[in-house]
Structure 1
C-alpha cells in the first residue's frame, strides 16, 4: 500500500522493555519483534480489539547480554507461524519459534558481538560481527565464514537479487556474491552502522559521519542526506519512496527526494527505525519504549497519550538542561538548605523551579543567605570543544588501529572516566576489552593522573565496584599526591552500591550450571522464580521509590531458600541481593520476620559461609550485609544478641 505523506504523529507505545530498545523486526502481518539491553526479545501481536494497535504476546529469554539485530523467517514447514533470529553482545545467534516463543537453537562461533542478521536466498541465516567476519548458518552449524572487512562488520543485508551487502567500521560498504567481493563502496568518512534496500534504486547506508547515502549497485552515490547532528544508527525505506533514519541526536527523520520533510523528537537516542507495510513507522528508543507513528488520522493516539508523550519530552529536555555548567536535574531542591553549612561563606547551589540559585552560609546567623540566580558567564563556554552540537572540556581523536577511522571521544573533567569509557564503547560498538586503555588515555591526556576512586566497594563479580574496576594503572615514574582522610570518620559507612547486572548474570550462570548437572538440577530456579529474582532487583535499582515500593514476602522466602539449598560456592550473589534488601525499608521489615522466627535465617547464613573451607566471596558479601544491618534500629536487638558469635 502506498503511503501518502503527511505529518507523522504518535499511534501507540509498546512498553515492557527494561533497558534500551535496540532492534526492530517487522514479522509480516504477524506482528513486531523488538530487542533490548534488558537481554530479552519481545514479540508484539496486533490487538484484535484495537486495529493498528499492538500488545505484548511473548517474552523470549535466552541471551546473557544485550540483544541487538533481529531477522524474521517466513512461515514454513518447520515454523508454521514463522521464526525469528536474534544476535547479541554474548556473541551468540539464537533461533526462536514464534508460535511457542521458545529458543530452538543456539549458534556459537563469533568471537565478539553479533551486529547484523539477515536471511539469504537459500534460507540460510547470515550474521555479521565485530570480529570482522560474516557467518552463514544452516541447521545450527556454520557452513561458511570469512573475514569481510579488516575492521568490525556493523551490518549485513540481503538484496532481492541474492547478493549480500555489508557495512563496516572501516567506513566502507561491500557487495558480495558468495564469498567474493564484487564491489567496495567508498564515500563515508566514518563507521557505516546501518543498511537497507531502496526498492528499484539500490542501497541505503547510515553512518557515524551523520549522513545517509543512497548508492547504486555499481557504487555510485545517487543521493546524500545530511541533517542529523550526531551518529546515524539506522535507516529504512518504504515503497512510497520515503526514507526514515534514527540517530544519537534523539530524532527520527523522514526524507523525501533527499530532503528532510519531518523530524520526530524522542526522549532519548533512536537506535532503530522500520517502516510497516502500511507506511507507519516503528522506532526503538534508549528510554526502552518502542513507538509507532502514523500519518492516518484514524490511527493517531488519543489526546491523553499525546499529552503524556509531550510530558516525556519535556522531562527529558529538563533533565539535560544545565545552568552555570551544572546539570539542573542533579541539583538538590530547597530541602538541602535545611542542612547547616560546614563553615562561614560555604556556597551551595539548589534548584528552584527551572533555575539554579546560589546560597552562602552565614555562620553568625546560622542561616543560608541567597546570593542570586546562577547563569552562564560570557567566558563559561569559550575555548570548549564542540561535538555534535554539545560543548565538552575535551574532544579527543582516538586511533584504535586495525585500519579503522579516527573516532571522536568527548569528555568533561567532572565526568567519571569509567562511565565515559563504557558509554563510548557501547556507542561505537567496540569491545569492552578496550575499557581500561580508554580510561588511561583519558587520564593521561587530561592531566588527571592523580585521579582517585572510592574503592570502598569491591564486588566478587569483577573484583571491583559496579562501574569502577579499581584504581587505574598509573604511568611509571609519576608520583601521586597523598590523600589524607580525617580520623575519626563521622557517620556510618554502608555498602549501598551494587553491580546488579553482574549479580543477575552470575545467578543465571550458576542456574544454568545446576540445570546441566543431573545430580543437582532439582536445585535450579524455574523461569518464574528467575523472573521473581529479576523483579526484586528491579525494585532495588529504583532507589527514588524506596519510600513506597514493596516486596512480596515470598520474594524474601525465595532468597532464603537459595541461601539454604544452593551449593556453598554459588550463594555469594544471593547474599549480595540480601545486602541491598537490608537497605530497603520494606525489605528490612520483611527480613526481620525471618530472623525473629525460631529458624534464624541470618545466623544460618553466617554459620554456612564460615564453615571451612570458607570462601572469600561469601565472607566478603556476608560482612557487608551484616554492616548494613546497622542502618535500621529494628536490627539492633538482633545485633546485640549475637555480638559474640
Structure 2
C-alpha cells in the first residue's frame, strides 16, 4: 500500500526543524518558534494532541531527542532536558552547558548516552548528564550526530566529511559528498546512510566503502530515517519525503511547504515529517490510519495549489510542452515529474507508481529556461558560463543570476580574474547573448541559503497602483537568499471626470510611508546572520550581546503587534532599542546589515519617538548613513549589491522619519539629513532608490505645510529637489513626487509669510516650466501649472 496522510499536527507558529517518534503514540517536535511539543495519542485510532509545550528560552529549538526514563534521570548553546510527566514545562529539570555556539544536532544511545553537535565545530558526548568527551576535528559546523553505542559515534559536518569515533578518538574519516553533510542514519547489517546539500544520499559500510548512492532529490537533503523494513526515508528542500527500497525510490510524498526539514519513523512503519510551514504530519501505509476522504482531498488540493520555481523541476520551454493528453501515458518510475501546458498555465505532475496515477504538485512559475541552479564555489547561480580567454588555458568561470545587473556581474568577474575593466562591455554583451529570452530581474522567489539551509527573507509585495516594481537583492552572505523590498507606496491623485474642472493638487497633505513588511522573515534573517557571525572565531565578537538581543526581540514583538493590530501596543519602543540597533550596525559587516537597516525602517515608521531623546535622531541617522556606506560610496563605479539595498533602506527609513507630527524644526537632524542627501551620486541611483529619495522630499514638504522651518533648511530642501530633477534618468513617478514637494513648499512659504529667495525661485520656475516637454502627462502638466503660479 502507498503511504498516505494519517495525521496533521498543527500548533507550532514557525518552521519545525526536528522531529522524533520514539513510540507509536508519542511524537516530539522542535521549532523555530522557541518551543518543543510532545504529541500523544492514547491508541493508534485516536488523534494526536499536544501533551506538553516545552519552552526554556527565546531562541530557536533546533534539535530534539528522546531519553528513556530511568530512576536516576532528572528527567542556543544549552541542551535542556525535560520530564514529559512534569507539570512545569518552562523550567528544564536539567541543562547541559558546554557548547559555545548553536546546538543543531542531538542523538541518544539505547542506554541514555547523549551526543550533541554544534556550530562551534565540535561534538560532545554526555554520560549521566555530565560531559564525557569532546569530539574535536571537524573544520566547520557539526550538522548531524549518531550514537552507535556507548563508545562509538558518527558525526557529519559542513566540511563535507563524516567521522567515526571510538570514545574521543577519530578512527576514520569518510569523504565523498560534495557539500555539507546534513543527516545520518544507521542501516542494519550494512553500516550507515548520509545525506547532503549535494542532493545525494550515500549508504556506507563502516569500513568506508560506498554501497550505493540514491539520487532523486532535486535540492538539499536535510534528514534521514530508517523504517523497520530497512527502507530509507529522506526529506529535503524540494518539499518531498522519499521512500527508498533496494536503491530505488518507491514513493515520493510532496508537501504543501517549501522545505521538509526533518523526518522520523515509528515502529509501526508510519513516517513523521516536520516542515517549514510549522506543521508536523504523519503518513501511514495502513489504510485504517489514513485520514478521511474529505481531509485527504484538502491536503491534495494544498499540494496542487503550490507555485513551483522552474529551477526546482527542470528546464522549462513553454512552447515545447505537451497538453493534458500527455498524462494519459504512465510514468517510468515513482517521483518522475512531467510538465504540461494547460492553457496559459504550466503545471507539474508527478507519477505515483503505487496508485498508477499522475498527481498535480503545483503550477510552475518564472520558467526562465535556465534549468536547475548551478553550483560554483559552494554557491548557487542560475548560470555558470565557461569563458575562454586564451588557447590552452582552462576557461574562467562566470557565475550569473537572472536578478544580477549584467554590468555588476561583469565587473566582479573582471576584477576577480585581474582582467582589464576595458572588457566590461564585451562581457556584458556575452551575458546578454547567452541569457537571451530571460527577463532579467524577475527570477523565481524560491532561493535558500546553501550553507545553513535557512529560510528565505522577502519583503511584502502587495501591488500598489503606479508604484515602481520591487527591487531584487541576492543575499551577499550566501550568494542566494533573495531579499525583495516592499513596493513603493504611490502619490496618486484620481483623474477628474472630463466634464469637471481640474481640481487643485497643491497643497497635498497626505504623507507616504514604507510600512509593508514580513516581520517574522526579517527577524529570522537577522538572527541567522547573528548565528553565522557567532559561528566563526574571527567574527564571534561581532555577534549580538544578550542585552542587545533582548532589545531586538522586544522591537520585533512590538512591530508584529503594531502591523497586525489596528491599535498600537501599549508599551512603545525607546532609546535602548535604538541604541541596540546603532551598536549592531556599527559592528556588523556591510553584507549582513540589511535586515537591521530594514528593522530601522519599521521602528521609524511605527514608533517615531523611539529616537526622540536630545540628540537621538542626529545620532541614529548618522549611524544609518554610515552603515549604508553613504558617506564613503565610490562615485565612479556601480554600487555593490550590499550598498544598493542598504542605501534603498536608508532612503525608506528617512522617508518614514517625516510623518504627521514630526518635529522638523527641532534639533539639527533635518539639516543633517539634507546635507547627507546633497552628496548623492544621483546618476548611479536605481529607480526604487530615486522614488524613495523623492518620497523623503515629498514627506518633508507635507510636514512643512504645518510647521515652518529656518530659511536655510528650506533652501537645502529646494536645492535637493532641483538636483534630483536635473539628474536625468528619472521616471515620471520620481518627477511627480518631486514636483508635488516643490509645490507644497511654495504654498507653505506663502502661508508662513516666508517668501522664497528670488534667485532660487526664478531658477526653479525656469526649470520646472520645461518639465512637461519631457514628461507630457496630465498630472505633471497640472502640477507644473500650479507651481509656476505659486513661484
TM class by shorter chain equals 0.5 to 0.7
Residue equivalent to 2:195? 206
1:271 and 1:285 in contact (8 A); partners too: yes
Deviation at 1:273, TM superposition (A): 1.0
Please list the CA deviations of residues 380-426 of structure 1 after superposition, one character each: whole Å capped at 9, or x if unmatched. Answer: 956x363389x9642599xxxxxxxxx99983325699x99873343
2:113 and 2:125 in contact (8 A); partners too: yes
The 1:409/1:17 distance shift into structure 2, 3 A limit, reads farther
Residue equivalent to 1:3? none
Q: Secondary structure at the residue paired with 1:426?
A: coil
Please list the CA deviations of residues 413-461 of structure 1 after superposition, one character each: whole Å capped at 9, or x if unmatched. Answer: 25699x99873343289xxxxxx99728969xxxxxxx9999999xxxx
Of residues 515, 532, 535, the one that matches 1:496 is 515
Partner Cα separation in structure 2 for residue 421 and residue 164 of structure 1: 34
Partner Cα separation in structure 1 for residue 400 and residue 42 of structure 2: 44
Residue equivalent to 1:73? 67
1:582 and 1:628 in contact (8 A); partners too: no
Partner Cα separation in structure 2 for residue 202 and residue 452 of structure 1: 45
Partner Cα separation in structure 1 for residue 660 and residue 448 of structure 2: 29
Partner Cα separation in structure 2 for residue 8 and residue 193 of structure 1: 25
Partner Cα separation in structure 1 for residue 544 and residue 175 of structure 2: 47
Deviation at 1:141, TM superposition (A): 5.9
Matched, 1:270 2:243: no
Matches within 5 A, 1:607-618: 610-612=612-614, 614=616
Matches within 5 A, 1:326-337: none
Deviation at 1:150, TM superposition (A): 2.5
The 1:442/1:319 distance shift into structure 2, 3 A limit, reads closer
The TM-score, its normalising length taken from structure 2, stands at 0.49
Residue equivalent to 2:659? 627
Matched, 1:569 2:576: yes
Matched, 1:44 2:39: yes
The 1:23/1:452 distance shift into structure 2, 3 A limit, reads closer
Deviation at 1:275, TM superposition (A): 0.6
2:154 and 2:162 in contact (8 A); partners too: yes
Partner Cα separation in structure 2 for residue 288 and residue 376 of structure 1: 24
Partner Cα separation in structure 1 for residue 474 and residue 183 of structure 2: 27
Matches within 5 A, 1:340-351: none
* Higher-Rg member (1/2): 2
Please list the CA deviations of residues 162-186 of structure 1 after superposition, one character each: whole Å capped at 9, or x if unmatched. Answer: 4101112333322111111222223
Of residues 150, 157, 181, the one that matches 1:192 is 181
Please list the CA deviations of residues 509-559 of structure 1 after superposition, one character each: whole Å capped at 9, or x if unmatched. Answer: 99986999xxxxxxx9xx9xx99x959827836xxxxxxxx66xxx74xx3
The 1:191/1:511 distance shift into structure 2, 3 A limit, reads closer
Deviation at 1:119, TM superposition (A): 2.5
Matches within 5 A, 1:148-167: 148-160=137-149, 162-167=151-156
Instruction: Identify the structure with the greater strand proportion.
Output: 1
Of residues 98, 105, 112, the one that matches 1:116 is 105
Count of residues in correspondence between the two structures: 477
Deviation at 1:236, TM superposition (A): 0.8
Q: Secondary structure at the residue paired with 1:627?
A: coil
Matched, 1:102 2:90: yes
Residue equivalent to 2:560? 537
Of residues 218, 224, 228, the one that matches 1:239 is 228
Matched, 1:439 2:476: yes
Residue equivalent to 2:449? 423
Partner Cα separation in structure 2 for residue 138 and residue 409 of structure 1: 48
2:240 and 2:254 in contact (8 A); partners too: yes
Residue equivalent to 1:387? 373
Q: Secondary structure at the residue paired with 1:67?
A: coil
Query: What 5-or-longer segments of structure 1 have no aligned partner?
Result: 1-5, 84-89, 328-352, 357-374, 398-406, 430-435, 444-450, 458-487, 517-523, 542-549, 584-601, 632-638
The 1:492/1:535 distance shift into structure 2, 3 A limit, reads closer
Matched, 1:53 2:90: no
Residue equivalent to 2:279? 289
Partner Cα separation in structure 2 for residue 265 and residue 175 of structure 1: 33
Instruction: Identify the structure with the greater helix proportion.
Output: 2
Partner Cα separation in structure 2 for residue 259 and residue 235 of structure 1: 15
Deviation at 1:243, TM superposition (A): 1.5
Residue equivalent to 2:19? 24
Partner Cα separation in structure 1 for residue 548 and residue 225 of structure 2: 43
Q: Secondary structure at the residue paired with 2:372?
A: strand
Partner Cα separation in structure 1 for residue 102 and residue 168 of structure 2: 21
1:128 and 1:154 in contact (8 A); partners too: yes
Deviation at 1:285, TM superposition (A): 1.8
The 1:456/1:437 distance shift into structure 2, 3 A limit, reads closer
2:19 and 2:264 in contact (8 A); partners too: yes
Q: Secondary structure at the residue paired with 2:269?
A: coil
Residue equivalent to 1:310? 300
Matched, 1:411 2:401: yes
RMSD: 5.6
The 1:262/1:141 distance shift into structure 2, 3 A limit, reads same
2:373 and 2:382 in contact (8 A); partners too: no
The 1:7/1:608 distance shift into structure 2, 3 A limit, reads closer
Partner Cα separation in structure 2 for residue 106 and residue 199 of structure 1: 32
Q: Secondary structure at the residue paired with 1:277?
A: coil
Deviation at 1:313, TM superposition (A): 0.8
Partner Cα separation in structure 2 for residue 607 and residue 210 of structure 1: 49
Partner Cα separation in structure 1 for residue 616 and residue 450 of structure 2: 40
Query: What 5-or-longer segments of structure 2 have no aligned partner?
Result: 319-341, 346-363, 387-396, 404-439, 456-472, 490-506, 528-542, 582-597, 625-652, 663-694, 696-702, 710-791
Partner Cα separation in structure 1 for residue 63 and residue 304 of structure 2: 30
Partner Cα separation in structure 1 for residue 295 and residue 563 of structure 2: 29
Partner Cα separation in structure 2 for residue 182 and residue 125 of structure 1: 20
The TM-score, its normalising length taken from structure 1, stands at 0.59
2:154 and 2:163 in contact (8 A); partners too: yes
The 1:325/1:7 distance shift into structure 2, 3 A limit, reads closer
Partner Cα separation in structure 1 for residue 103 and residue 614 of structure 2: 43
Deviation at 1:606, TM superposition (A): 7.8
Matched, 1:13 2:5: no
The 1:535/1:73 distance shift into structure 2, 3 A limit, reads farther
1:540 and 1:580 in contact (8 A); partners too: no
The 1:282/1:316 distance shift into structure 2, 3 A limit, reads same
Partner Cα separation in structure 2 for residue 240 and residue 618 of structure 1: 62
1:582 and 1:629 in contact (8 A); partners too: no
Partner Cα separation in structure 2 for residue 452 and residue 317 of structure 1: 18
The 1:213/1:579 distance shift into structure 2, 3 A limit, reads closer
Matched, 1:180 2:174: no
1:63 and 1:92 in contact (8 A); partners too: no
The 1:165/1:56 distance shift into structure 2, 3 A limit, reads same
Partner Cα separation in structure 1 for residue 14 and residue 373 of structure 2: 26
Q: Secondary structure at the residue paired with 1:569?
A: helix
Partner Cα separation in structure 2 for residue 27 and residue 491 of structure 1: 60
Partner Cα separation in structure 1 for residue 171 and residue 16 of structure 2: 34
Deviation at 1:122, TM superposition (A): 6.4
Partner Cα separation in structure 1 for residue 146 and residue 558 of structure 2: 37
Please list the CA deviations of residues 287-321 of structure 1 after superposition, one character each: whole Å capped at 9, or x if unmatched. Answer: 22211001111110011211111111122136879
